[in-house]
A and B are shown apart, each in its own frame.
Chain A
Amino acid sequence: MDVLMLSRLQFAAATFFHFLFVPLTLGLSILIAVMETIYVRTGDQDYLRAAKFWGKIFLVNFAVGVVTGITLEFQFGTNWSRYSRYVGDIFGSILAIEATLAFFLESTFLAVWAFGWKRLSPKAHAACIWLVALASNLSAVWILIANAWMQHPVGYVIRGGRAELANFFAVITQPFAWQIFFHTISGAYILAGFVVMGISAYHLLRRQNIQFFTKSFRMGLALALIFSFAEIIQGHIHAGEVAKIQPTKLAAMEALWDTQTHAPQTLFLIPDEKNERNLMEIGRIPGILSLLAYHDFNAEVKGLKAFPPDERPPVTLTFMAFRVMVVLGFLFALLTFIGLFKRNKLVDSPLYLKVMLWSIPLPYIALQAGWIVTEVGRQPWIVYGVMKTKEAVSPLAASQVAISLGAFIAVYTVLGIIAFYLVRKFAIQGPEPLPAPIRKGEV
């Protein structure tokens, strides 16, 4: 394999692994903040225990998220130096702003939260986890603005052989960036909700800490329910934007080869990229793709053949990943909608609880599939329409990258196993049996 492919695999592996841990922290930080706030307001000890119980799971995820995040920042320079040089004026500044505004805040106050139970008033302590939640989500805003710029570059001029910032405001306010943000953050909240529901379901099935886990389950349900439905509506709008901004990605998502009006939606097919056609189309409904993308049955949708072969993304992977994401998205809405009716009789609904327990992996799959659509569907561009991925890679020896890729896979696999083991252990252990002994000045 050449340096380009190895570097792509390394970036994919690093991002994939990073995003196994980050989404949970985005949503769970908010849930913990709400739990602790309810405790401060009402004095209900269950919510204090809940903040501490979910806090343990949060801290493991956060730690792995942080250390794997550094890798990503460094990798732009190590593996994509030509990209860094070409767009650093815009892209680099967004990353630097993210560090200054968000990373300091979340890292500093999470430590205060974890070690400050005795040192702060209950209100000040709760404020710390709110700051962590705010900062984590703020960091998602900036990193997704950066990603959106790669998907749809705006506010720049090409000058002196590189892209230079022309309008900072345009970069941070472009609607596509906020579409990507809402889509990703909703996915992260759904994931956090499902993890909380799944772990709670485990204990409810065993009739342990029923009151405690019913409260947690309902909070996870509320979060996941709201954002599952929001995600479907927003996802539809988002796809409409993709149709306009990244026509090659949309065509690959739907495996549409020929430009046509009344473009069909096909439930399932097998793309045959070599011969530019599809095999085994099942459930082909004419006009639906035109309708979904442009709100008009007659609208023309560009097919892949409208673009030179070297400007088309890999079709099969993009198509399949999109199908997986959409199907799971609807499933989340269905499962949380059922939850709405089960919420007052959870312990009497063992089947539903079992389904929710075994659903924990699903949002993880959906989120990774979503990133595959975003990133593979953008190929061959690293900055859509401006710079190709193959022009962006560092001048390295393949052996260097092969060794580091192997090391990443080995280290990350071990870390992943340990993190999973610890989260599982804490999840099964359940909350502290009794409220912590009250000492003077103690929360």
Chain B
Amino acid sequence: MEAMLGTIWFLLWGVLWAVYFMLDGSDLGLGTVMPAVAKSEEDRKLVYRAMSPFWDGNEVWLITAGGVTFAAFPGTYAVLFSGLYTPLMLILFALILRGVTFAFRGKVDDPRWRNIWDLFLVLGSFLPALLLGVAFANLFKGLPIDGEGIYQGTLFTLLNPYGIAGGLLFVAIFAMHGSLWLTTKTEGELQERGGAWAKKIWPLVLVLAVIFLLASQRLTNLYDNYLARPVLFLIPATAVLALLATRIFMAMSAWWPAWGASALTIVSTTLFGVIGLYPNLIPSSLDPDFSMTVANSSSSPLTLKIMLAVALTFVPIVIAYQIWVHFLFKDRLTDDEVAYEERHY
């Protein structure tokens, strides 16, 4: 059991990131494409309202993923967060500005005021998507960390072609995912524009995904685990099939299934990388002995057990009430309803 604990938490850690990307990917993506899909102030209000009841609950998955990194793998948390100081700060500021946008934008009735916050929504969505992609791609590739766990690179070390490909893949896949989210929440022209943009972005996602998967084979050791246990190839295969299914559902205008298939693409792509990393959390590109692994960076068995008990008890409850919220707000939005809510908030 004790030997398994680290592995269980490694998997939960990967799942938490995957769930975060799946959920907040909708918000980050929709925020990124807003200028393209929303043509009028009414459109923009609907775009915001498509995210408003959910974005904060979605973002808590990020806080939890960060918290679990801290709790289950403090060594990794310390090395990763201090090593990637500048990109993390940029993500933080972007999320801060995006977060307050939801609270501030509608509070002053002035187009200039709203334009400022719209800009922050776009930047605050695009930048975290890009940087999270860059960060994870570099994680897959390995970071230049020395024997003391000190990062020996700069921000520009991360901006290598593989890292940039990862960033662009995240931006593209989230943009498609967010466009699809809009189609599930609206009707009429706005829904059509969301669908049209998802269709336009899809080929880009496909190309970037293929490049990323091929480059991973050349530039990372992710495939070692897959070659050792070929059954694991089901995961990247799922990612590819889910991406194809996304396009088929789009063609059928089956928007919820399209969003679901896109969600599965995101989850299986994330898990593809995470499982390829195992047992490393941060492979060192300087010397494999310097890598942060499940064995050398995890918490004590007692802490992992307590955390597991908490997670197994409360995470299902969280999932249950978050699903309930999605049912509560499942109906498509209309201008009337948004106008009504505005009078109250």
Question: Chain A residues in contact with chain B, CB under 8 A?
Answer: 52, 56, 59-60, 62-64, 66-68, 70-71, 73-74, 76-79, 81-82, 84-85, 87-93, 95-101, 103-105, 107-112, 114-120, 159, 162, 164-166, 168, 394-396, 400, 404, 407, 411, 415, 418, 422, 425, 436
Contacts and interface: CB of A to CB of B under 8 A. Distances in A.
Nearest to B155: A400
Nearest to A116: B328
B345 to A, nearest CB: 6
B186 to A, nearest CB: 16
Interface stretch (B74-82, B199-207, B208-216): B74-82
Nearest to B74: A88
The 6 closest A-B pairs by CB, nearest first: A88-B74, A77-B81, A63-B103, A92-B70, A96-B67, A81-B82
14 contacts: A73-B63, A81-B81, A85-B75, A87-B74, A89-B300, A92-B72, A104-B318, A111-B54, A112-B325, A115-B52, A118-B340, A119-B329, A159-B300, A168-B302
B303 interface: yes
A77 B100 contact: no
A60 B345 CA distance: 11
Nearest to A83: B78
Nearest to A167: B302
A108 B314 contact: no
B306 A93 contact: yes
B71 A95 contact: yes
B68 to A, nearest CB: 5
Nearest to A77: B81
B78 to A, nearest CB: 4
A432 B81 CA distance: 46
A89 B306 CA distance: 11
B322 interface: yes
Contacts of B89: 78, 404, 407
B310 interface: yes
A89 B53 CA distance: 34
Output the residue of A62, A74, A82 with the most chain B CB within 10 A: A74
A165 B74 CA distance: 13
Given A88-B77, A93-B306, A100 B314 contact: yes
Interface in B69-109: 69-72, 74-75, 77-82, 85-86, 88-89, 92-93, 95-97, 99-100, 102-104, 107-108
B112 interface: no
Interface in B37-82: 52-54, 56-57, 59-60, 62-64, 66-72, 74-75, 77-82
Output the residue of B67, B88, B314 with the most chain A CB within 10 A: B67
Given A67-B96, A92-B299, A394-B85, A107 B67 contact: no
